[in-house]
Amino acid sequence: MRAALALEDGTVVHGRLFGYPREAKGEVVFNTSHTGYQEALTDPSYKGQILMMTFPTQGNYGILPDANESDGVKVEGFVVRYLHEGPIHPKAEMTLSEFLEEHGVPGLEGVDTRMLTRRIRRFGAMRGVLVPYEPDDKPSDEELLEKVESVPHISELDLVPEVSVDEPKRFSEGSPEVILIDCGVKMSIARELATRGAGVTLVPWNTPADEILDMDPDGVLVSNGPGDPKRVRETIETVGELLGEVPLMGICLGNQILALACGGDTYKLKFGHRGANQPVKDLKTGRVYITSQNHGFAVDPDSLKGTGLEVRWVNVNDGTVEGLVHKDVPAFSVQFHPEANPGPWDTKFLFDEFLEMCREY
């Protein structure tokens, strides 16, 4: 079976379908990681997006039993240059194509991902559709581009409720006690806290601050998640009320939510940061770390005056804000993913900093 990918700038490419034969729509973005396609596919932050990998070959080690970051595939569609279908890693449970098929997600292979990446870098992340078809029923470019026009912009969608837990969920026993506000959390974040002995409870994204404080936590972590941070109004309100009451840490979307809760602002990046090779500088020490990232929005540094927040981390490539610290209360956040998965482990020490803050509290 064949498939086509159409972008809102008029670009149309055709290739071979793999995975599940259904139409997909969403914002088309690219990830520059060389490995970790399984972790990316199951990362809830990709909800509402068609993901394209820049590294040519995908699927070369299959699907491993313990690499998922959630309960299933969260991307809307998957685009690759070459699909490897075997042999795979001895511990693999299935091929990449079988994995997508099991979760009802379509894939497209055999297209020029280099060209597509260059277009997205030039014009920005774009709305798109991935449409399967039989060879004798090829859709016209006009038909495909008409479908693109009906795709909503990512900022118009409320995606966090689709990937958050519905009720509190106990993840691990231990101390200190951490409440993890689940906006679409990568489970590696919870595992990093649990590995360090913390007791972790996941709560829904819209849990009020008084309910969280009634659980008597030693700290609260606001997770990553998909979409525009300004649409997560309930979480922003909760974080604003928790400031100064309990130590706070934010990761990715949690970084943007902390800024908004303090009165700052956010904006949409042209094509975002997605990959395991983003350099960030710690302004506190002057050291540069290589980090794993997945986000399309960023904090506006000019909006932070009078918020109590100051920038601790910046992106070496483009100077964007990569992390904040509050000057008056125990709260900090990072735009990158210290748990990695996939990616370097350079900044895992931030979980130690957070838990030490919790213990002091």
CA–CA gap between residue 60 and residue 42 (Å, rounded):
17
Instruction: Identify whether 326 is a catalytic site residue.
Output: no
Q: Choosing from 69, 76, 109, 339, which is the catalytic residue?
A: 339
Q: How far is CA 81 from the centre of its chain?
A: 22
Q: Cα–chain-centroid distance for residue 96? A: 20
Contact at 8 Å (CB) between 28 and 54? no
Angle at 51 between CA 132 and CA 276, to 5 degrees: 155
Of the residues 39, 322, 337, 358, only one is catalytic, namely 337
Check: CB of residue 324 under 8 Å from CB of residue 222: no
Q: How far apart are CA 324 and CA 173, in angstroms?
A: 29
- Is 183 a catalytic site residue? no
103 a catalytic residue: no
What tokens does 18 get? 């793999």
- Residue 115 neighbours by CB under 8 Å, 6+ apart: none
Pick the catalytic residue from 183, 252, 262, 358. Answer: 252
Strand 321-326 to 331-334 pairing: antiparallel
Catalytic center residues: 252, 337, 339
